[in-house]
A and B are shown apart, each in its own frame.
Chain A
Amino acid sequence: MTNKQLPVDGKGLLNNPQHRAIFFQVFALALVVFFAFYFANNMFDNIESRGITTGFSFLDNTAGFGISQTLIPYDDGTSTFMDVFIVGLLNTILVSVLGIIFASIIGLLLGVARLSSNFLISKLALVYIETFRNIPILLQILFWYNVVLAALPGPRQSFAYLDSVFLNNRGLLLPEPIFQSGSGAVLVAFVLAIAAIIYLIRWSRKRHDDTGEEFPIIKVSLAILILAPTLVYFIAGQPITAIYPELKGFNFRGGLTIIPELLALLFALSIYTATYIAEAVRAGIEAVPKGQKEAAKSLGLKDYVILTKVVLPQALRVIIPPVINQFLNLTKNSSLATAIGYPELVTLFSGTTLNQVGQAIEIILMTMAVYLTISILISLLLNWVNAKMAIKGR
């Protein structure tokens, strides 16, 4: 009926392609919103009719269970589920950050080794990459966990170093530093030392650019970094002491414990992710045209200068985007720790807490939100780095 009244020259609401496109997009959006709302509503109706408690008030309830690794003070008797959430979050961040550092170092070395002209080194790197990249990460985590537990002795037969560092199947035990009054001065000295080094690097670079003179920057920096805080430490009257782990009864008491679950998980994640990073590094370096290196060589530049000033700056542009993905993967893979009982977010929060509280939807939503946030943050950060690295059109 209405169709007949519409003019055919394409100026009507539905006959104009532009208007029609907008109409259908709005329609599709409305449909999506409607369905989301419909399902959410349905879900809450059903939850309510089944008498399941909803809402986030459970976060204030006392948790009442023990956790094997907590980075914040945690008491089994009084801490709440919110504390459990934070403990899990921090444990996830800890293993992810450490994993990213180790994976990057191993990956970079492997990637360079893969391109080595030495037959043995390049083939060994190849075998390493092909082996660890092609075994599922969950199996590797279980493997390393069993290796760690099987290889290490019980607490009474620990490997000991200087009676202050111990290694056994309960973990790696280190002396715990205790900061007394006055230790702030040491920290200030440390920060000042770093600031001084940064200034020194800038100064020496400028001097090099101006006069061409070299400055032993690494040696001097190290000296400043070590000497300044040490000096202040003794002047302030040795304010930092340590508690050493001691064998009492079944286990060691005191000191810092790095639990075997963390060691195994870190090992597995670093080794696995490093293989992908290595391939990204290799691809990046190979993407730099040969002519660049040859041109640099013919200018008489040193090999070291060619690598740092010519090859790497161009290779990094290719390397960074895939490596970002690997960092994200590593963070997400850390949730597989639930298989070996490392107390990260998924194990603690959407595992133990979910079972004690029973509010699956709230808890899973919170957990998903965390991974989404972490992933987006990492990706924003590295996109920023990438933008800084990108070729600037002149």
Chain B
Amino acid sequence: MKVTKLALLLGLTAAVPTLSHAGTLEDVIKEDVLKCGVSTGIPGFSAADSNGEWKGLDVDFCKSVASAVLGDASKVKYFPLTAKERFTALQSGEVDVLARATTWTATRDASLGLNFAGVNYYDGQGFLVSKSLGVNSAKELDGATFCIQAGTTTELNLTDYFKANGMEYKAVTYDTSGQTIDGFKKGRCDAVTSDRSQLAGLRIKLDDPTSAILLPETISKEPLGPVVRQGDDAWFNVIRWTMFATIEAEELGVSSSNVDEMLKSSANPGIKRLLGSSGKTGEDLGLKNDWAYQIVKQVGNYAESYDLNVGKDSPIQIERSLNKLWNDGGIMYPMPIR
């Protein structure tokens, strides 16, 4: 008797299936909420405002995905992550997608079990220094102390740059970008180094933003984009094409204010395909055919999102430069939706 019971128990435990996931897309639809990994507060990209609402370019991306998949931009649960928590959170399935100003590098793509779905912001590393230091170029920073965020490509680029120029530096490494600007304010370091867009956002957090300047040098390429787990191609496609759809909408001149009118009256085949009145790209992606319509209607196209969060309508005021469309002098080039 006992022996049979024991055997049964062992057999049962062995038969429990390994704890693996079904497709992320099905999980998101089933749970009816998108779990989106964002930063702990990078102004312009993902930061909670005074009402506790998340705002920013990356937050808009989360909303776009929720609009495309669930038809409702508000069905997003935000997970604020520090730079060093982010990959583990994604790997372990705590979040469905990471939209956290994350740089696309070969090491990360190849060894972390993750895939970068594309680039939604082309950035580069810069330096923020106090004006009173009298420095006009990064080449004059020999011997300076830097405040850096732990676990970023920034740390590695800084070493490369100073080695290449035969200069010395000291690094003080903090967990969050908020702590780096805090250390800078208190004089623990001479300069903060990070992606230029982040520095622009951190600069406005200073008591007197005019007391600090961004040095002209850009010392690295920082292509920032959304990240998903490797091996889930259906979900990877949804994320990638959500990104392209927002850029494509800008290229076609479809915005949140004219999208309804376009849907009704536009004869442009490209617009018809984007908004789902012809073709079935939505179905092919495992979504509804109006997926891109929902994105533009509820969140807006790339230009709207850019201007509102980091561009001319935001306090940060970053020029679009590289992030302009390909036919306007930039390198934002959406793959054709057809």
Give A residues with C-beta under 8 Å from B.
1-3, 14, 27, 34-35, 38, 42, 45-47, 49-53, 64-68, 76-77, 146, 149-150, 154, 169-170, 248-251, 253, 259-261, 338-339, 341, 343, 347, 351-352, 354-358, 360
Residue of B14, B155, B188 near A65 (CB, 8 A) is B155
Q: With CB as the reference atom, state the residue of chain B lying closest to A350.
A: B84
Knowing A46-B19, A66-B169, A169-B187, the reply to whether A339 touches B155 (Cβ < 8 A) is no
Asked if B50 CB lies within 8 Å of chain A CBs, one says: no
Give B residues with C-beta under 8 Å from A.
1-3, 6, 10, 13-14, 18-20, 83-84, 86-88, 91, 107-108, 111-113, 133, 141-145, 150-152, 155-156, 158-160, 162-163, 169-175, 179, 183, 186-188, 190, 229-231
- The CA of A343 and the CA of B150, in the complex, are separated in Å by 11
Residues of chain B within 8 A of A38, CB atoms compared: 13-14
Are A42 and B87 in touch, CB under 8 angstroms?
no
- The CA of A354 and the CA of B159, in the complex, are separated in Å by 18
- The CA of A364 and the CA of B112, in the complex, are separated in Å by 16
Are A46 and B18 in touch, CB under 8 angstroms?
yes
Knowing A149-B186, A250-B133, A341-B175, the reply to whether A354 touches B151 (Cβ < 8 A) is yes
Are B187 and A68 in touch, CB under 8 angstroms?
no
Knowing A1-B1, A51-B113, A351-B151, the reply to whether A154 touches B88 (Cβ < 8 A) is no
- The CA of A295 and the CA of B152, in the complex, are separated in Å by 68
Knowing A76-B159, A251-B145, the reply to whether A343 touches B173 (Cβ < 8 A) is yes
Residues of chain A within 8 A of B1, CB atoms compared: 1-3
CB distance from A358 to the nearest CB of B (A): 4
Are B111 and A66 in touch, CB under 8 angstroms?
no
Q: With CB as the reference atom, state the residue of chain A lying closest to B142.
A: A249
Residues of chain A within 8 A of B231, CB atoms compared: 49-51
- The CA of A356 and the CA of B143, in the complex, are separated in Å by 25
Are B13 and A68 in touch, CB under 8 angstroms?
no
Q: With CB as the reference atom, state the residue of chain A lying closest to B151.
A: A355
- The CA of A14 and the CA of B6, in the complex, are separated in Å by 14
Are A150 and B186 in touch, CB under 8 angstroms?
yes
- The CA of A52 and the CA of B10, in the complex, are separated in Å by 30
- The CA of A341 and the CA of B82, in the complex, are separated in Å by 14
**22 A-B interface contacts by CB (under 8 A):** A1-B1, A3-B1, A35-B13, A49-B20, A50-B113, A52-B111, A64-B155, A64-B156, A65-B158, A169-B186, A169-B187, A261-B172, A341-B150, A341-B183, A355-B87, A355-B150, A356-B107, A356-B155, A357-B111, A358-B87, A358-B108, A358-B111
Q: Give me the 9 closest cross-chain CB pairs, A-B, nearest first.
A: A355-B151, A52-B113, A66-B171, A65-B155, A358-B112, A355-B84, A50-B113, A76-B159, A51-B113
Residue among B108, B155, B158 with the highest chain A CB neighbour number at 10 A? B155
Q: With CB as the reference atom, state the residue of chain A lying closest to B21.
A: A46
CB distance from A114 to the nearest CB of B (A): 36
Knowing A42-B18, A355-B150, the reply to whether A68 touches B186 (Cβ < 8 A) is no
- The CA of A253 and the CA of B168, in the complex, are separated in Å by 10
Q: With CB as the reference atom, state the residue of chain B lying closest to A341.
A: B174
Q: With CB as the reference atom, state the residue of chain B lying closest to A154.
A: B187
Residue of A14, A250, A261, A356 near B2 (CB, 8 A) is A14
Are B163 and A149 in touch, CB under 8 angstroms?
no
CB distance from B72 to the nearest CB of A (A): 29
Knowing A34-B10, A253-B143, the reply to whether A46 touches B20 (Cβ < 8 A) is yes
- The CA of A79 and the CA of B14, in the complex, are separated in Å by 45
CB distance from A5 to the nearest CB of B (A): 12
- The CA of A355 and the CA of B142, in the complex, are separated in Å by 27
Residue of B6, B20, B150, B230 near A352 (CB, 8 A) is B150
Knowing A66-B159, A351-B151, A355-B84, the reply to whether A170 touches B175 (Cβ < 8 A) is no
Are B170 and A68 in touch, CB under 8 angstroms?
yes
Residues of chain A within 8 A of B159, CB atoms compared: 64-66, 76-77
CB distance from B2 to the nearest CB of A (A): 7
Knowing A1-B1, A352-B150, A352-B155, the reply to whether A52 touches B91 (Cβ < 8 A) is yes
Are B175 and A351 in touch, CB under 8 angstroms?
yes
- The CA of A67 and the CA of B1, in the complex, are separated in Å by 63
Residues of chain A within 8 A of B111, CB atoms compared: 52-53, 357-358
Q: With CB as the reference atom, state the residue of chain B lying closest to A260.
A: B188
Residue of B88, B151, B158 near A356 (CB, 8 A) is B151
Are B179 and A251 in touch, CB under 8 angstroms?
no
Residue of A146, A169, A251, A339 near B143 (CB, 8 A) is A251
Residues of chain B within 8 A of A65, CB atoms compared: 155-156, 158-159, 171, 173
- The CA of A154 and the CA of B185, in the complex, are separated in Å by 12
Are B172 and A76 in touch, CB under 8 angstroms?
no
Are A341 and B173 in touch, CB under 8 angstroms?
yes
- The CA of A169 and the CA of B141, in the complex, are separated in Å by 18
Knowing A49-B20, A149-B186, the reply to whether A68 touches B172 (Cβ < 8 A) is yes
Residues of chain B within 8 A of A339, CB atoms compared: 175
- The CA of A322 and the CA of B68, in the complex, are separated in Å by 60
- Beyond A51-B230, A66-B171, 8 additional pairs, beta carbon < 8 A: A50-B91, A65-B156, A65-B158, A65-B159, A170-B188, A250-B145, A341-B172, A341-B173
Residues of chain B within 8 A of A64, CB atoms compared: 155-156, 159-160
CB distance from A347 to the nearest CB of B (A): 7
Are A250 and B144 in touch, CB under 8 angstroms?
yes
Residues of chain B within 8 A of A146, CB atoms compared: 186
Residue among B91, B108, B173, B230 with the highest chain A CB neighbour number at 10 A? B173
Are A356 and B156 in touch, CB under 8 angstroms?
yes
CB distance from A183 to the nearest CB of B (A): 27
Knowing A47-B113, A347-B173, the reply to whether A149 touches B133 (Cβ < 8 A) is no
Residues of chain B within 8 A of A50, CB atoms compared: 91, 113, 229-231
Residue among A35, A53, A250 with the highest chain B CB neighbour number at 10 A? A250
CB distance from B117 to the nearest CB of A (A): 16
Are A52 and B112 in touch, CB under 8 angstroms?
yes
- The CA of A341 and the CA of B147, in the complex, are separated in Å by 10
Are A354 and B186 in touch, CB under 8 angstroms?
no
Q: With CB as the reference atom, state the residue of chain B lying closest to A253.
A: B143
Residues of chain B within 8 A of A76, CB atoms compared: 159, 162-163
Q: With CB as the reference atom, state the residue of chain B lying closest to A47.
A: B113
Are A169 and B188 in touch, CB under 8 angstroms?
yes
- The CA of A341 and the CA of B146, in the complex, are separated in Å by 12
Q: With CB as the reference atom, state the residue of chain A lying closest to B147.
A: A341
CB distance from A80 to the nearest CB of B (A): 14
Residues of chain A within 8 A of B188, CB atoms compared: 149, 169-170, 260
Residues of chain B within 8 A of A360, CB atoms compared: 88, 91
CB distance from B6 to the nearest CB of A (A): 8
